[in-house]
Structure 1
C-alpha cells in the first residue's frame, strides 16, 4: 500500500513538472515524417489533422515544390493555420475533418500525426488506402492504448526522458500550453496489437514500429501498378 501511494505521488509530481515544461511529442516526430514523405518523391500531400501547421511548414522547407492540403476540424486551430500560410499559395488549410476531404482527389502522400485514434480505425485505414495515388505513401504517427507488461516496460524510458526533454525544449516555466498543443485530444481505444492486426488486413505490407513517448509509426506504400485500392 505504501509503495502504491509513493508511486502515485511520484506520477503526480512528474505530471505537474511536465505541465510546467511542455513540449510536443508529436512535433518530435515531425522531421521524421517530412523525411519519409520527401523520400517517396511526393508532390501533393494531404495532412489530416494539420493543427497549426507545424508539419506543413516542415514539408515546405524539406521540398519547396511540395503542395500541402491541411485538414483541421477545430475552428480556432484551423484559423491559426490558415493565417500562418496566408502568403503561401502552396499550402491550403481547410476547416474540416477527414470525412470532409475531396472524395474524388488522390494524393501522392497522406500524413496523420496523433489523429488516427480520433477516427474509426478499420474504415479509416481503408479510406486512407483509397486516398493514395499509385505508388503513394501513407505516413502515420499514432497513439495506442497501453495494455500488458510490454507496454508498461516501453513506457518506462519515456517517463524518464520526458522531463529531461521538457527542460531542454522548454526550460522556462510555462503558465499555459503553447497554442499548437491546445487542440482537442482523445484517449486511444485500440492497443498496438489491434492496430497491427487491422493494418495487416487493410494495408498489406505496412511497416509499424513502436516508438518512444507513447507513439508508434506506420508507413504504407500503395502498389505502383494501380491506384491505392
Structure 2
C-alpha cells in the first residue's frame, strides 16, 4: 500500500491526461466526417483536433469547463460549444460522427448506447474511449503495465512539479460502475457489429458504424 501511495503522490506531481493520449486515434477514426458531436468536450482538446477537418459541436455540462471551452473557440466559426449534457442535445440532429472520451460511464449505459445509435446519420461513426470497473485477472494484468508506465510518461510530459492539475483535468469525475464484460454485452445488444478493445491506461475503445 505504501508503494501505491507513493506512486499516487508522484502521479499527482506530474499529471498528464490519459484521455488526450487517445486524441490522435479518435481523430483518425472520424476522418472524413463533416459534422461531429463531441459529448463531454471538457476544455476542448479533442475539439481542437477535430475542427481542422469538420464542423464540431461540443457538449459540456460543467459550467466552468464549458466557459473555458467557449472562450477558447470564440472566434472559430467551425466550433459551437453548448453548456449542457447529452439529454440537452438537439434531438432532431443527425451526426456524421459522435465522440465520447471518458464520458459514457457518467451516463446510463444501455439507454445511452441506444440513443447514440439513433443520433447517427446513415453511415455515421460512433467512437468511444471509455472507462470500466476492474474485475478479474485480465483487468489486473492490463493495469500492471499501466501502473509502471504512468509515472514515466508523466515525468516526460510534465517534468516540472505541479501544484494542481491543469485546467483540462479539473472537470468532475466519477468511478465507472460497469465492467468491460458488461459493456461488451450492452454494446452487442444495442450496437450490432461494434468493435471493443481493451486499451492501456485503464481505458477501452468502442467503434461503431451506423
Judge same fold: TM > 0.5, yes or no. yes
Task: Name the CA distance, whole Å, in 1 between partners of 2:92 and 2:196.
Answer: 28
Unpaired runs of 5+ in structure 2? none
Task: Name the CA distance, whole Å, in 2 between partners of 1:112 and 1:95.
Answer: 16
TM-score (norm 2): 0.99
Q: Does 1:84 align with 2:75?
A: no
Q: Look up the match of 1:26.
A: 19
Q: Look up the match of 1:160.
A: 148
SS at match of 1:136: strand
Mapping for residues 75-154 of structure 1, pairs under 5 Å:
75-154=63-142
Task: Name the CA distance, whole Å, in 1 between partners of 2:78 and 2:154.
Answer: 33
TM-score (norm 1): 0.91
**C-alpha displacement at 1:60, in angstroms?**
1.9
Q: Look up the match of 1:56.
A: 47
Which of residues 20, 30, 35 is equivalent to 2:28?
Answer: 35
Kindly name which structure, 1 or 2, has the bigger radius of gyration based on alpha carbons: 1
**C-alpha displacement at 1:190, in angstroms?**
0.2
Q: Does 1:12 align with 2:5?
A: yes
**C-alpha displacement at 1:219, in angstroms?**
0.2
Unpaired runs of 5+ in structure 1? 1-7, 223-229
Q: Which runs of 4+ in 1 moved over 2 A?
A: none
SS at match of 1:204: coil
RMSD in angstroms over aligned alpha carbons?
Answer: 0.4
Task: Name the CA distance, whole Å, in 1 between partners of 2:47 and 2:176.
Answer: 24
Aligned residue pairs total: 210
SS at match of 1:135: strand
Task: Name the CA distance, whole Å, in 1 between partners of 2:150 and 2:66.
Answer: 28
**C-alpha displacement at 1:149, in angstroms?**
1.1
Task: Name the CA distance, whole Å, in 2 between partners of 1:44 and 1:15.
Answer: 39
